[in-house]
Structure formats: C-alpha cells, structure tokens
Structure 1
C-alpha cells in the first residue's frame, strides 16, 4: 500500500493532492514499535527496499482509530462516511472497545476528503490506491469547476 501512495501522489502532484498517514496498532498489533521506529520499519521491513514517503505524504505519530480512545479526526471521519462493510472482522484481532459498525476495519482504510475539508469517500483496506484514481479525478474536477 505504501508504494501505491507514492505513485498516487506522483500522479496528482501538480493538482495539489496530499496524503496523510496515521499508523495504528489496533489491528493484530501490527504497528508495535515506538513512534521513532515506525519510519525505520517502513524503510527496511514493510515495504522495505529503502522505501521513503513521497514529499507530499505526511506520516504522523501512531493513533487509535477506533474505540473510546479513537483520535478526534477518526471520530469525525467515521461519523461523516458510511461503513464499508457490515462485518468488521474477527473480534480476537481487534484491540479496542467498544466495537462500532462504522469502525475502521483494518490497517489501510482510506478516506478521501475534498478541497473544502469535507470527507467524501471511504474505502476499505483491500481497495488499492490505483482504484481511487477516478474518485480523485472527480474531486479535482469539482474543485477546478468551483474556481472558474
């Protein structure tokens, strides 16, 4: 998923698209390292091969995206967009309470936010970043139409 983000941001760099990433350890404890270790993991392990984020991809510190300790940004995003599935997964792999139907189901859940700051689309973790291109194109076109 991370190399796909770099490709997306390269494709839409001139249009001003930016990416925001928030590592989370609530899904099978897949982000166990300290905050200062996250980038090393990305560079050398997953995806590895000296991966580095695109200059328009901002990776923030680890946050909780679900449960009572969910970051306020994720509370807003989840309240703004419908759930991507009715079955959010195996409870034994989830490390939060209370489970909610609108919870992010796994790492790499995605939200697209328009140029006015409104969350417009939500995608599950299995949706690849190149599958977002038509939606990004639509939001760019809408933004450009507003400025004409």
Structure 2
C-alpha cells in the first residue's frame, strides 16, 4: 500500500508531477505486486522464507491480512541474493547506507 497509484499512474506521476517536466526514466518500470498477505507474490514468499525477519513489531495501520512475523514492513527493506539465486541476508528499512551491506557482499565474492 506504499504506492496507491495503479501502474500507468505511477509513470505519469514521474513524467508530469515529480520530477515532472516530461521526465522519462531510462529504466524498466515493473508492475506493482503484493509483498504480504493472501495475494503476496511468489518471489517475496521465497525471499522471506530464506532470511530471518528484521522486525517483529507492526504499525497499527495495516492494509492486508493475514499478518505474519516475517512480513515486509516498509518498501525500503532489502534482500541480498547469492550467485546461486538464494537469499543470503535481509536488511531493515532503516539500513540506508550501502556501506552497511559491503561486508556481506564481500562474504559472497
């Protein structure tokens, strides 16, 4: 529920609102998907199953069910995947400095 817009609205908001001015990102913009609850995407089930959760407390306002202790709590939660495609580590949304991931990345190299 982090991004309330539907897929086409997201690109339009980038082009015309923020940053606006007809800006068009030179990236592939994927469709939105569910990361928690009954409709969660299979990739997120796989990622969450492969790593310990980062936080066991929930905000009072949630928009999905059922609630699970391993749920993704915010859209800046990160997963590090090894060269075989297996989840190696999971990082809390408050981990925002890439340098905090370097030791784990070095372990995988």
Normalising by structure 1, report the TM-score: 0.61
* Residue 66 of structure 1 pairs with residue 36 of structure 2: yes
Deviation at 1:36, TM superposition (A): 1.7
User: Higher helix proportion, which one?
Assistant: 1
Q: How many positions carry a matched residue from both structures?
A: 105
CA shift in 2, pair 1:132/1:34, >3 Å: same
Which residue of structure 2 lines up, in the alignment, with residue 96 of structure 1? Answer: 64
Distance 1:129 1:31 in 2: 23
User: Which protein has greater RCO, CA pairs closer than 8 Å, 6+ apart?
Assistant: 1
TM-score (normalizing by structure 2): 0.80
CA RMSD of aligned residues (A): 2.2
Q: Structure 1 residues 137, 107: CA separation in 2 closer, same or farther (over 3 Å shift)? A: same
Long gaps (5+) in structure 1: 1-24, 142-148
Runs of 4+, deviation exceeding 6 Å: none
What's the CA shift for 1:101? 0.3
